[in-house]
Homo-oligomer: A and B are copies of this chain.
Amino acid sequence: MKKLFDWGIRASWALPMNGEVSVENDFFLGVKGTDIAFAGPYKPSHKTQSKKFIDAKGMVLLPGLINAHTHLPMTLFRGLEDDVPLKVWLFERIFPLEKEFVSPDFVKTGTELAALECIRFGTTTVSDMYFFVEDSAKAWDKAGLRGIFGQAFMDFPLPEDKKLGPDHFGRFHALRKKFAKSDRIQIALSPHAPYTCSDDLLKKIAATSKETGALLHTHLSESVDEEPESLAKFGKTQTERFRDLGVLGPKTICAHAVHLTPSDRQILKDSGTAVIHNPDSNLKLGSGVAPVAEYLAEGVRVALGTDGSASANDLSLFGVMDLATKVQKLTHNDNTAMIASQALWMATQGGANALNLGDQIGSLSPGKKADFILVDFNFPHLQPVHDPISHLVYSAQGLEVDTVFCNGKMLMKAKKHVSLKPAAIFAKAESYRKKIRAFLAKLKAS
């Protein structure tokens, strides 16, 4: 029998995420090189057509999850000084810590730890924004994952400038050149937020995005103070200002978008801008709830993110999917306000569309990249299996992910990492913990 597939995967259930969110039984996925070569009902001949074969009984197959807004290296600050008032946490803890610790090695270590975690939780693509992007992107690339890494911009010096100099646009262009041939890593433009970037800076970034076709990844209307400040300073909402400066458009993704007016929502819709919803972080920081049911109903593009794990504490999109539906049910007093299938769509095809990668990833269909995961339902909390969609969103946690492929390559098998060595990375993270602890003790004493 001719071997048509490098890998063949038979799964009890699958969510191909093509068009509508539905469950297929006894599904087969054939992988050839980096791509999906076949996706459809399993036939016994598929096994013999596969060089390597995975029989995933009691497991559900779905596209690799997409985390469209995060700050990967912040894993090293996870759980640090939680539950102190927000401004103390940010200005007296996180900012001084970043000033002291953020370095190429810190970013590399934090990204490696994040890669371990993302793979463990079935995330194969991220859109990231932090410092020393080259070191982060290289570590991510080495882990075998897919990602878009944004060069940061703001009116103030960045923690990386002392080492890399002040030319952020130059850095962006050099990085783009460096990763131009990568089929998994892209470089984006990341103006930090409306309140940290001048009109001129934002205009220049927007023009550069249009020139180069690079994604523009920014924050918008996160905490409750931001819109009153914008109105006072500019006489317009953050969204109106972004529109007027040319920042919005189908290549732009805005994280949070919590405090938008109906007119702001219309602006996002008309411009084709995508919103990245991070409910875990928004609730943890007391920022509020984005009107996601409205975004969905009105046709605003919307995807999911975890935010950095210093604010939301983990990088699991399973928790985010669950919480996203529940907060909409709560804020609308309606248990159908946002449903499980919508969350799954946002974490897969919706995420891919937001990142302008919809033609490559986000669904299980021939010609797309072979980014997929198997989630093991052989756990007490996932029995019996009345409905895989409900189970994935409302019962699964993330640690049930059993197998992860990205770009046709196996990164995790039977819940064990293949591409990375956890023990060595844990040891490096622990050595940072000790240094951070000593620094914090001094900081608090001063």
Contacts and interface: CB of A to CB of B under 8 A. Distances in A.
Contact of A379 (B76, B79, B323, B399): B399
Interface in A81-110: 81-86, 89
A384 interface: yes
A41 interface: no
A387 B309 CA distance: 14
Contact of A384 (B81, B330, B433): B433
A400 B398 CA distance: 11
Interface stretch (A113-121, A204-212, A248-256): A113-121
A422 interface: yes
| Copies of this chain assembled into the complex | 2
A201 to B, nearest CB: 30
A230 interface: no
B433 A385 contact: yes
Given A381-B314, A397-B398, A333 B288 contact: yes
Contacts of A309: 381, 395
Q: Which of A79, A333, A339 has the most CB of B within 10 A?
A: A79
A384 B78 contact: yes
A426 interface: yes
B113 A335 contact: no
Given A286-B329, A334-B286, A384-B433, A394 B85 contact: no
B326 A283 contact: yes
B82 A390 contact: yes
B79 A390 contact: yes
A395 B329 contact: no
Contact of A80 (B323, B379, B387): B387
A286 B337 contact: yes
20 contacts: A77-B386, A78-B384, A79-B394, A83-B335, A83-B339, A85-B335, A85-B336, A117-B380, A117-B381, A120-B381, A283-B330, A285-B335, A286-B330, A286-B334, A288-B333, A313-B394, A323-B323, A327-B330, A380-B422, A384-B429
